């Protein structure tokens, strides 16, 4: 049995985040000690490690909720988990594509720098007039 501080240290998840995961139902409410402190078992440790790893891979909380629900049913086919992972892959690929466009735009801005004065600065000019960008959508 672990207290919340030791659970935090064992998983790298901050104490307020652990409490938040309890509030939103990703972690079950833990047992309480005689002194009314939270105490966690190995199942909570494994579940929190699962959540942390999923968050590191960028899964949104709702997808993690779905994946946890699936993990609680080990005899079920994994097709639903595959769909969730593919959805996340598409999302990551979209973000990478947008970041590449941002990289291209920033490289173009910097390469056009004539090292003169701010009044002639292409970086300032492009930032001031979105129409000068090669790619119109810089959304993250």
Query: Is the pTM here over 0.85, yes or no?
Result: no
Of 53, 75, 97, the domain-final residue = 75
Residues 68 and 95 in one domain: no
Q: CA of 12: how far to CAs of 9, 43, 51, 126, in Å?
A: 5, 16, 11, 41
pLDDT at position 68, please? 95
Containing domain of residue 13, as a range? 1-75
Residues 83 and 115 in one domain: yes
pLDDT of 137 above 70 = no
pLDDT tens-digit profile of 54-108?
Answer: 999 999 999 999 999 999 998 988 999 999 999 999 999 999 999 999 898 888 8
Of 75, 99, 121, the domain-final residue = 75
Residues 11 and 27 in one domain: yes
pLDDT tens-digit profile of 9-31?
Answer: 999 999 999 999 999 999 998 88
Residues 49 and 38 in one domain: yes
């Amino acid at each position: 049995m672990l207290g919340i501080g030791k659970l935090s240290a064992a998983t790298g998840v901050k104490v307020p985040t652990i409490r938040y995961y309890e509030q939103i139902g990703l972690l079950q409410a833990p047992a309480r000690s005689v002194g009314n402190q939270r105490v966690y078992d190995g199942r909570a440790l494994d579940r929190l490690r699962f959540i942390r790893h999923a968050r590191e891979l960028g899964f949104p909380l709702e997808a993690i909720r779905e994946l946890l629900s699936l993990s609680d049913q080990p005899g079920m086919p994994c097709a639903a988990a595959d769909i969730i992972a593919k959805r996340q892959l598409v999302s990551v690929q979209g973000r990478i594509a947008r970041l590449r466009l941002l990289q291209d735009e920033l490289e173009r801005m910097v390469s056009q720098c004539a090292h003169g004065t701010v009044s002639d600065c292409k970086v300032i000019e492009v930032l001031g007039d979105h129409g000068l960008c090669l790619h119109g959508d810089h959304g993250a």
